[in-house]
Amino acid sequence: MQNIVCFVSDFGLEDAWVGVCHAVIHRACPTARVVDLGHQIPPFDVRKGAAVAAAGVYQLPEAIHLIVVDPTVGGGRLDLCLVTGTGVRLVGPDNGVLMLAAERAGGVAEAIVIDPSKVDFRKPLGTFYARDVLAPAAAALACGVEPRYLGTLVPPETLVPVPFRPTEIDGDFVVADVLEYDRFGSVRLRVAAGQIEELGLARDYIELGFGHLVITVPFAETFSDVAEGEPVALIDSSGWLTLAVRQASAAERFGIEAGARVRIRPRS
């Protein structure tokens, strides 16, 4: 039984919310181990939360993933436990924040709407479902409760979809969303490592077009394959095609924003 709970939220660390959720999990399942993957998601930013959650699932598929970015908490949205095609278990609100992670792990095999009475005897506080529903549900999973016992199965197609546009082929180009950029300014694109060959992008150079900006960069294995200050495309630790600048910020250098559309094609 895997009892690691990977926790992502937009709670920050200045207030008590993260610590309280830790305590709730440990109280319900003393053997659970909570790993904080990140709590500095910008407030209410479901897209950033989805991207961070997907990175966590890619690197730690055996864990239980608790993702809480919840702008409409208490407003009637559903609380979910998802089981993916590869067996990954995800807990969070039904606002799309779980769906990129689920997509990367074989899609949604089962979707369970969590019944609060199955995880805690108290009525949830309208502003803190993370403490009263989601954290207890993650704790239950960590202690061996089967996901189906947490609530009611619903059809996966009824869930709020992934908060990104699909990656598409347009003539010679692969067209994808900018998922996010990290604190180093590396820009992650919605092209997964496993898609590089099938999309024909496994070349020495690729062209990236962001609106009127078009750049051709080497497709390498690591940052140090180019000189300091030079751009490079690579597959990063999260498994996404990424535009980086060695020891500088690609996002700042090229003025790239999360959510932008990029056109990609191989170059000789």
Q: Is residue 262 part of a domain?
A: yes
- If asked whether residues 249 and 183 sit together in one domain, one would say yes
**Tens-place pLDDT, residues 47-94:** 999 999 999 999 999 999 999 999 999 888 999 999 999 999 999 999
Q: Examine the pLDDT at 1 and tell me if it is beyond 60.
A: no
Count other C-beta atoms under 10 Å from residue 253's C-beta: 16
Whether 32 and 134 share a structural domain: yes
- Examine the domain organization and report whether 240 and 140 are in the same domain: no
The residue among 43, 79, 49 whose CA lies nearest residue 67 is: 49
* One domain for residues 92 and 209: no
CATH number of residue 246's parent domain: 2.40.30.90
Candidates 182, 236, 192, 226; CA nearest to 216 is 226
**Residue 126 banded pLDDT, cuts 50, 70, 90:** confident
* 179 has pLDDT over 70: yes
> End-to-end alpha-carbon separation of the chain, Å?
49
- What is the rounded average pLDDT of the residues 221-228? 96
Answer whether residue 30 is part of any domain. yes
Q: How confident is the model at residue 227 (pLDDT cuts 50, 70, 90)?
A: very high
- Both 199 and 149 in a single domain? no
Report if residue 163 sits inside a domain.
no
Q: For the chain, how many structural domains are there in total?
A: 2
Same domain, 139 and 261: no
Residues 148 and 194 in one domain: no
Same domain membership, residue 145 and residue 259:
no
Reference 165, options 71, 258, 52; nearest CA is 258
Residue pair 37/56 in contact (Cβ under 8 Å)? The answer is yes
The predicted-structure confidence for 128-143, as pLDDT tens digits, reads as follows 999 999 999 999 999 9
Of 158, 185, 211, the one marking the end of a domain is 158
Alpha helices in the chain (DSSP H): 17-28, 46-59, 99-104, 116-119, 129, 135-142, 250-254
| Separation between Cα atoms, residue 9 and residue 124, nearest integer Å | 18
Q: What is the pLDDT of residues 28-50, one digit of tens each?
A: 999 999 999 999 999 999 999 99
In whole angstroms, what is the distance from residue 200 CA to residue 11 CA?
40
Mean pLDDT of 251-260: 95
